[in-house]
Structure 1
Amino acid sequence: MKTSIYDKTTKGREEIATRKYQLASRLRTLLVLVDGHRSEEELLRNVAGLGLNHSALQELLAQDYIVLATSYASLPEPDPLPLPLPLPPPSTIALDQVQQFQSVYNFYNKTIKSTMGLRGFTLQLKVEKAGSVDELRLLRAPYLEGVTKAKGRDTAALLVQQLDQLLAG
């Protein structure tokens, strides 16, 4: 299969900048897309909705708005690889732990930012470093202290209650 890449000529760039040659709007759209990097197939795929095809490119080429920058033969598409054997289903315990970690992690990130702002930056870094639910569980006390200082006991109590539910699994 042959791949062609077109680039704008000086006349093409001038038309884009000034509309000097009064090129039809559909052809002008195609001309704008020509950049010396996209293949002919990609260009035509992008303007297919406008009803433009290979003849539109040939028209721009004939009117000296574009020039063939590169043309080369593409390698044929390789045969598809055989499908891999299906993997055994992941254990639900491991999946539950991942979901719990993600839930606690997201809770910490959302609430530290919204309640403590920049004062929670170091705690946020500790959350980022945590690699397990147990490590996130160790951050409960500094989290409670930070939220209490920033928003008061009532807000801290509500948030810690939600956190405890997530940590319980």
Structure 2
Amino acid sequence: MTVIIYDKTEKGREEIATRKHQLASRLRTLLVMVDGKHTNDDIMRKVTGLGLTEQNMQELLEQDFIVAITVQSIPAASNTHASSGTPATPAAPVTKPSEPATAAAPSLPAMTDAERFQALHNFFNETIKSAIGLRGYGLQLKVERASTIDDFRGLRQAYVEAVQKAKGPEMARSLRDRLDQLLNDGSA
């Protein structure tokens, strides 16, 4: 069975991290829920009580905050809790792209270590300033002292904890996922 899932674009991740595009708070709430793992129906079930609709999802799509991905799903019986009928959290991916991953999923292009180091440096600088503010000064100094990608890996946990304390768990998860993508050179 073919289903459509949505994932954030680079513009969507940037909005979550920096609020650069000043997306309306209701649409921003919906954008936070888009994770590249859940179907449109799953997301709508979670946000209907907030007054969000398919039209809101369409707005995010039209404004290039999210992208639609067509996937083949595994039979529902193997992916749900028997008692509740809700999707189980799988140890392995539940869906696989119907097209090659390079065409279907938004990911980082292959980077050299120097490019990845610079991307990580920029990511930390921009998001510490926007998400943590002055409380991130000590962390910012550690970023400036980092000389290897492994140094950035060592900062991951302190960074995620600082973002969670300053902005809450949703923002921390979003930025953590983006950071992990950079640390792993775009491979999951």
TM-score tier (shorter): 0.3 to 0.5
More helix by share: 1
Question: Of the two, which has the highest radius of gyration?
Answer: 1
TM-score, reference length from structure 1: 0.44
